[in-house]
A and B are shown apart, each in its own frame.
Chain A
């Protein structure tokens, strides 16, 4: 477990100079230092791949993928809810339990039917919580929506 934890912390460590000198951060190109200082993505479960890429899609298409959630600890973890930053991405199952040192697949489905005019890149956050509301995993799903072939794109 030490390996994944260390690798997840290392990007944070590389930004340490900006954090140490927050007062003069704007002068040093660290304007968004506080934004970059997102809390480390440590949870009870490790979501892989990170990010999950669904590639490029034509508008109106749907896409599926799988996030693998690994429980590297000695206690079972129960996920009671999974939230995403976009209504366009749904997950299944809605709740589940992962035994100690076990893993489980979380299916993610992208569907832009509600926003058919959307074009561009998406980086969607997927967050799982336990019964107390504590975040137990964070994942990310990336994809790009392109104009459908032969269709005049609207601005």
Chain B
């Protein structure tokens, strides 16, 4: 029986090693930071992340209200404060600030959205301000489709 060439053994060993490393990374990501995406964000220098970052309310009629809930998580070891917010439309209520987030903790931030005839394709940004020097803002987005007024 022919033995596999040396390069094939080396490749197989490398792939196995990479697979094990990836598995360890994913497990550690879930254990320490909640998800691999959060781990990647942490490695990229981010200390606060939002989930979801884009909230799609689907469809709604003009005059309807929707509530978008974003979970903002503090990946760092010290308290972070959401100091304020900014939108492009008064149709999104920002709530009250400041909002502190404990180390490795999270808060749910709710935004009430009133649908108007301004844009049938609703797409509005929400910018949250933090007290983090290296991450002063956190971008969120609300999207959906606005239909004609509900028939009475």
Contact = CB atoms under 8 A, between A and B. Distances in A.
Q: Name B's interface SS.
A: loop
B16 interface: no
Contact of A35 (B46, B84, B118, B139): B139
Interface string A112-144: 101101111111110000000000000000000
B93 A85 contact: no
Nearest to B114: A115
Nearest to A28: B44
Nearest to B89: A86
A27 B118 CA distance: 37
Size bracket of the B interface: 20 to 34
Interface in A75-124: 84-88, 112, 114-115, 117-124
A88 B41 CA distance: 36
B127 A123 contact: yes
B43 A121 contact: no
Nearest to B117: A87
A53 B11 CA distance: 60
Contact of B94 (A32, A84, A114, A120): A120
Q: Looking at B88, B93, B117, B119, which has the most chain A CB atoms within 10 Å of its CB?
A: B88
A122 B118 contact: no
Given A27-B44, A31-B46, A153 B96 contact: yes
A32 B139 contact: yes
Instruction: Return the 9 tightest CB-CB contacts between A and B, nearest first.
Output: A121-B86, A29-B44, A115-B90, A120-B94, A86-B89, A85-B88, A118-B90, A29-B45, A88-B90
Interface of B: 37, 40-41, 43-46, 53, 84-91, 93-97, 114, 116-119, 124, 127, 139
20 contacts: A27-B43, A29-B44, A29-B46, A31-B41, A35-B139, A85-B88, A85-B89, A86-B91, A86-B118, A87-B89, A87-B91, A119-B94, A119-B96, A120-B94, A121-B86, A122-B87, A122-B89, A123-B86, A155-B95, A155-B96
Given A87-B90, A153-B96, 7 more contacts: A85-B89, A85-B119, A87-B89, A87-B91, A120-B86, A121-B84, A145-B90
